[in-house]
Amino acid sequence: MIINVFLIIIILKMMVMEMRILKFSANSNRPNDGQDENRVVFDMLEISPVEYQNKKNNGWDTFLLDVRRADEEEITRISGTDLRIEHLLIPDRVSELPKDKDIVVYCRSGFRSAAVTRFLSELGIFSGNIYNLRGGIHEWSDTVDNNIIKY
């Protein structure tokens, strides 16, 4: 049985903070090349704002990382944020992050934080899990705290 595999190509334009996800279906007529058709190129951990808040309320000790710019932080922030490091500066400031705690990364809508989550996870130096906060500040405002400004 040939399993259709979707190849997800993520094109991240760092200059304009634009992310596009393109899906291509595998060619079912192509002969098997011996590679595992079910392999996962990258499996990013993601958590919804509601799930994050529930776990925090039940004592989850995590590190909340904001990867937005300083001017965005001035507009609004999630209460309990431990540190803000602009996403482009993360490679130079990795040493400021705890290696032994779960880290939840957020931005405005979840795209920049997804890139940071992937980068940090691939470093392999953290004993805790790295999570992307799905939907960022926008989903947080919609589902947890509508006093958070959407911009």
CB-based contacts of 46, cutoff 8 Å, min separation 6: 114, 117, 131, 132, 133, 134
Task: Please state, in angstroms and rounded to a whole number, the distance separating the CA atoms of residues 116 and 135.
Answer: 14
What pLDDT, in 10s, does the model give residues 86-145? 999 999 999 999 999 999 999 999 999 999 999 999 999 999 999 999 999 999 999 999
Note if 107 is an active site residue: yes
Answer whether residue 65 shows pLDDT above 60: yes
Q: Three-state SS string across 27-67, please?
A: CCCCCCCCCCCCCCCCCCEEECHHHHHHHHHCCCCEEEEEC
What pLDDT, in 10s, does the model give residues 69-94? 999 999 999 999 999 999 999 999 99
Residue 87 CB-density burial (10 A; 0-12 exposed, 13-18 middle, 19+ buried): buried
Domain 45-143 has CATH 3.30.2270.10: no
What pLDDT, in 10s, does the model give residues 7-64? 333 333 343 444 555 444 555 554 555 554 444 445 789 999 999 999 999 999 999 9
Catalytic pick among 47, 107, 116, 133: 107
Q: Which of 60, 98, 66, 96 is nearest to 79 (CA)?
A: 66
pLDDT of residue 31: 52
